[in-house]
Every structure is written in structure tokens, then in C-alpha cells.
Amino acid sequence: MIAYQGYISKLIIIVINDITVCYHPAFSLSIGIIRILPEMRRDGRCARITTDMLNLDSEKHLYMFAGKGGVGKTTCAAITALHLASLGKRTLIISTDPSPSVRDIFEITSRENRVKVADNLFLEEIREDDVKARWKKKFGPEVYEVISAYIPVEKDFIDYFADAPGISDEFMLDYIRDLVLNRDFDHIVWDTAPSGHTLRLLKMPGIFISHMNAAVNVYSRLKKGRESGRSIFTILSSWTKMSQDLVEFLRSNTQYTLVAIPEALSVVQVEGILKDLKGEGLAVNQIIINNVLQSCEGEFLKARHDMQQRYIKQLTDTYGKTVGITELCLLPGEARGIASLSKLDKALFGD
């Protein structure tokens, strides 16, 4: 350990095993959070300058990563899943992105629906066709009873109804909840689609509940189902209960992490996502600022570095007192494969 102290400025710099820590007495009074400022070391790892790191709530069973397209959600989700698996936690990483890349980031060539990635780590890309098939099996008969009590339809009407807007979104959440509640895995890491699609997905239970509450007087007048003899009102009430359970699940069992990059469009979208999630009663726990440039040699890199620092300061000043903020450095190569992701594991979670 080497320590330097400037007596006039009272700035203390400590170097420990290639990691630099800067301290000033005034910081304890003026700074509400400590930011991670990783740098690329010669061995290709992101070295940690401060001691803060990504915090996972062990009481949560679902960790969701959200953000606009191209900011590194899949990378951060993959690092987190690999980290949990390395701790001996049986972990499943899932993707609901219509164009998923989680297999590619782990360099998995198998097209099986669920595949083993490493010890304690499994991967599943949830496809919309699979969601519709599960929906028809679980709810198809009830949907037929409800519709056929109102108008004469054939049973293949269920196939048409399964393509209705919002159906796959609602049941995708139901499927994810079942994955968590079945406890086949200690933790599930959710790599979401770009923010617009994900926000629609998270809002769907509330939209469904609002529809059912508004239409209950109409539906309650319908006769009983043809086959089960259950009243239509009873069937519809069970659907409302399912949506209410989904809302509670999203609020109590899920930890939300936003991934952003230090650029204007991403920063603006963070504000919108936080506002929309808050409107649904969902609280974001932390923000990862990805692709942070550390080297600033040359005019081009210096200009990019200065621009990024302005947006990092904006995010920190705006959200730092209520949300944990973590920075992840820009790698010189691709974050692909377990070896590369393991280096970032150390940067995100510490040694």
C-alpha cells in the first residue's frame, strides 16, 4: 500500500494492489453517494476505484434489467446471472426480447428452449409462440365459455382470440411469475425487451383490471358457461384476481435495475422510464451507467469523455440520493463468452 497526502488540499490518495482510492474530508458532508469509476487495467479488467458495487437484494427472486435498446441490458443481465451462479445459486436467465441475444452473449449454439450455460446457470428465451400455446392450454377453455355464452362461436375461435393485443403480454407475466413461484431456481434474471415494449408489458395487469372493473356489470348479466356450469362472472373474477396477483408480484418480488449509457437520448429515457414505473407502483433500485470511457488521450476521446461526464453528473445529481448508481467501463473488446463476462463480474460486484 502506498499513501500520498497533500497537506494544503487535504486530498489523500491511496494505491492498493493497482486500485486507487481518493479521499477528501469534505466528501463525507457533501456527497450523498459514492460512484464507481472503473478503469481498464493492463489485464483487461475494469479496476474499481471506489468500494461501491451493484447491490442485489437477496430477498428478491426476480432481477429485472430494463432500458432503451443498445445500452447493454443483456450484458448486465448476463453478468448478474453468472455472478449468482458462481455463488452456488441455481439461476435462470430469461429473455422476453423479440430479438433476443442472450444465447449469443454466452456463445450458446443449442436451440433448445432451456439450456444449461454453466454450473448452476440455465438460459431460456421466452418465445411469443410458446406463450400463446401455454395461454390456450391454461385459459382457452374458459375464454370459450365466456365468449360462447354471449355469441355462438366454434372452439377454433380461441386461436383468433390468442392473437388479440395484450393477451401474450398478460400471460408472459403470468408465466414468469410461475417460474419464480415454482422455486425450481433460487433466482431468475430477466433480460427485457427495449423499454417501450417492457413498459407496455408491465402496465398490462393494471389495464386488464381497469377493463374488468368497468365491464363487470355487462359481463355479470351473461349466462353460465356451457360446459363447466360456472357463472361468467365467476370466471371473469378469477381473471381479475390473476391480474391483481401479478401487480402484487411485480411490486414485492422483483428488483428493478435500469441500464443507460452517458448520452442524451438514454438520459432522457431514464427519466421517462422512472416516471412510468413509479406510476405503476414499481420502484427502481439502481441505475447502471454502461460504456463509460476512461481513457481521454487525443482530442476525439477527450471530447467523448467530457460529454459522458456531463451526463453522468446529470444522472447522479438527479437520482443519486434515492437510487444506487454504478458505472461500468467501456471494454476494448466484446463482452461475449463466460471468460469476458467474468472479468466484468469483478467490476460490477467486486472480488
**Greater pLDDT, 261 or 161:** 261
Band of pLDDT at residue 190, cut at 50, 70 and 90? very high
Strands 121-125 and 284-292: unpaired
3-class state of residue 270 by DSSP: helix
Residues 61 and 17 reside in one and the same domain: no
Q: Is the pLDDT of residue 303 over 80?
A: yes
175 grid coordinates: 408465466
Q: Is the pLDDT of residue 265 over 80?
A: yes
- Mean pLDDT confidence for 147-170: 68
Of the ranges 33-47, 169-183, 196-210, which is most confident? 169-183
Report how far Cα 57 is from the mean position of its chain's Cα atoms.
Answer: 14
Residues 214 and 287 reside in one and the same domain: yes
Neighbours of 315 (CB within 10 A): 22
- Mean pLDDT confidence for 227-250: 71
- Mean pLDDT confidence for 337-351: 83
Residues 298 and 312 reside in one and the same domain: yes
Strands 114-118 and 121-125: antiparallel
- CA atoms of 213 and 210, how far apart (whole Å): 5
**Greater pLDDT, 135 or 349:** 349
177 grid coordinates: 411469475
- Mean pLDDT confidence for 232-254: 77
The model's pTM: 0.75
3-class state of residue 328 by DSSP: strand
Q: Is the pLDDT of residue 47 over 70?
A: no
Residues 178 and 304 reside in one and the same domain: yes
Residues 22 and 71 reside in one and the same domain: no
Q: Three-state secondary structure along 177-239?
A: HHHHHCCCCCEEEEECCCHHHHHHHHHHHHHHHHHHHHHHHHHCCCCECCCCCCEHHHHHHHH
3-class state of residue 14 by DSSP: strand
Q: Is the pLDDT of residue 295 over 80?
A: no
Return the minimum-mean-pLDDT range out of 212-221, 261-270, 330-339.
212-221
Residues 155 and 235 reside in one and the same domain: yes
Angle among Cα 248, 253, 256 to the nearest 5 degrees reads: 105
Helix (H) or strand (E) run with residue 274 in it: helix 264-279
Residues 137 and 160 reside in one and the same domain: yes
Residue 114 is part of which domain span? 31-349
Residues 22 and 113 reside in one and the same domain: no
Residues 14 and 46 reside in one and the same domain: no
Band of pLDDT at residue 287, cut at 50, 70 and 90? very high
The mean pLDDT value of the chain amounts to: 75
- CA atoms of 117 and 81, how far apart (whole Å): 10
Q: Is the pLDDT of residue 209 over 60?
A: no
Q: Is the pLDDT of residue 92 over 80?
A: yes
Q: Is the pLDDT of residue 288 over 90?
A: yes
The count of domains in the chain is 2
- CA atoms of 309 and 315, how far apart (whole Å): 10
Residues 40 and 26 reside in one and the same domain: no
Band of pLDDT at residue 93, cut at 50, 70 and 90? very high
Q: What is the CATH number of the domain that holds 311?
A: 3.40.50.300
pLDDT of 113 reads 85
Residues 19 and 75 reside in one and the same domain: no
- Using one digit for the tens of pLDDT, what is the confidence trace for 304-333? 999 999 999 999 999 988 888 999 888 777
- Mean pLDDT confidence for 53-70: 86
Residues 10 and 112 reside in one and the same domain: no
